[in-house]
Chain A
Amino acid sequence: MRIAVIVFPGSNCDVDLYEALGTVCGADVAYVSHHEHSLVGFDAVMLPGGFSYGDYLRAGAIARFTNIMPAIIKMAEEGKPVFGTCNGFQILTEAGLLPGALKRNDSQRFVCKAVPLEVVNNQTLFTSRYRPHERISLPIAHADGSFYADQKTLDRLEANHQVVFRYAEENPNGSLRNIAGITNQRGNVLGMMPHPERAVEAILGNTDGLRLFKSLLTNGSVKVGE
């Protein structure tokens, strides 16, 4: 299974994702520039955190217009795993691959700390190695992480089990229904504000993110049906 980590101007968690997958998990992973037009030969694609295009206009809004975006949308449509963390999540919503939007934190502050999360749905290809409703802890680091969608969309997300991670204690940003991560209806696109790639080595104090990548590596070559 070959995995692409997309590098946008302003990405700053691309190395973390690459090392989490390559060095820690031993996966076959490669950086792909936003200038590229193709992801032929890749089985999964990762959109890293950071501040692509300086968060100009809205976080993630400009990255949507890069050369690589049609190839990412094509992979999503083919049912291949597409993952975005933090700015990657913002880009996935701006590109229409995930519903809703990420707006400014209610507190108006940049929040950077570990937060308790509930794994709401462990029946996805990204979360199969977590126990049902397991409590984990992952770092967050964002100013625009407040998940917003209209009531109808929120109800549909819950009914379809698309809410994968929820903030378990305090809500750090004002996200509606404490949503921290969602998939598309098909389940092959996951976006989340927390950073699992920053929690993969015991020496750094937390390995709760590791099983997300291990789940993907176990399940990733299985194409998700319509």
Chain B
Amino acid sequence: MTNVRIFVTYKQSVFDPQGETIKDAIHTLGHDEVTAVKVGKFFDVTIDATGAAVDQSVKEIADQLLVNFNMETYHYQVLEEAE
């Protein structure tokens, strides 16, 4: 069993209106040292597999459902792997 966290964000080239709005709010707090905010989402997925099979599952799920490659990109972390 493997727990995986998949992060989905807009591509670097795509304007992120939520991130911009949040950055403005942070500036209102007085934190002018914050120069950029990007908003994304993550999915915690438990997969009944280990090793390369997990990579294959994540790739297929991301490609076909979780990510719209017109505007988004993704990466993932293996959080923990258990027998």
Question: Chain A contact residues: over half helix, strand or loop, or mixed?
Answer: loop
CB of B28 closer than 8 Å to a CB of A: no
CB-based contact A149/B70 at 8 Å: yes
The total of Cβ contacts below 8 Å across the A-B interface reads: 34
Interfacial chain A residues near B17, Cβ < 8 Å: 104-108, 146, 174
Q: Could you show 15 A-B contacts with beta carbons less than 8 Å apart?
A: A61-B65, A65-B65, A93-B70, A94-B68, A100-B70, A101-B70, A103-B14, A104-B17, A105-B17, A106-B17, A108-B21, A146-B17, A148-B71, A150-B13, A150-B70
Q: Tell me, in angstroms, the Cα distance from A146 to B18 when the chains sit together.
A: 13
Interface residue tally on A, bucketed by range: 20 to 34
Contact residues of B between 1 and 38, Cβ < 8 Å to A = 10, 13-15, 17-18, 21
CB of B66 closer than 8 Å to a CB of A: yes
Q: Tell me, in angstroms, the Cα distance from A110 to B73 when the chains sit together.
A: 25
| A99-125 contact mask (Cβ, 8 Å, vs B): 1 or 0 | 111011111100000000000000000
CB-based contact B18/A101 at 8 Å: no
CB distance from A88 to the nearest CB of B (A): 17
Q: In the complex, which of the residues A57, A99, A105 contacts B66, with contact meaning CB atoms closer than 8 Å?
A: A57
Q: Tell me, in angstroms, the Cα distance from A150 to B68 when the chains sit together.
A: 13
Q: Tell me, in angstroms, the Cα distance from A146 to B66 when the chains sit together.
A: 19
Residues of B within 8 A of A (CB): 10, 13-15, 17-18, 21, 65-66, 68, 70-71
Q: Tell me, in angstroms, the Cα distance from A103 to B39 when the chains sit together.
A: 13
CB distance from A162 to the nearest CB of B (A): 15
| A50-72 contact mask (Cβ, 8 Å, vs B): 1 or 0 | 00000001100100010000000
Contact residues of A between 111 and 165, Cβ < 8 Å to B = 146, 148-150
Which residue of chain B has its CB nearest to the CB of A93?
Answer: B70
Which residue of chain A has its CB nearest to the CB of B39?
Answer: A104
CB distance from A66 to the nearest CB of B (A): 13
Interfacial chain A residues near B21, Cβ < 8 Å: 108
CB-based contact B70/A148 at 8 Å: yes
Interfacial chain B residues near A100, Cβ < 8 Å: 70
With contacts A57-B65, A61-B65 taken as known, whether A104 is within 8 angstroms of B70 at the C-beta atoms is no
CB distance from A101 to the nearest CB of B (A): 4
Q: A100-B70, A148-B14 are in contact. List 7 more A-B contacts (CB 8 A).
A: A57-B65, A61-B65, A61-B68, A65-B65, A101-B68, A108-B17, A148-B70
Q: Tell me, in angstroms, the Cα distance from A25 to B34 when the chains sit together.
A: 56
Q: Tell me, in angstroms, the Cα distance from A108 to B14 when the chains sit together.
A: 15
CB-based contact B18/A108 at 8 Å: yes
CB distance from B71 to the nearest CB of A (A): 5
Q: Tell me, in angstroms, the Cα distance from A106 to B17 when the chains sit together.
A: 5
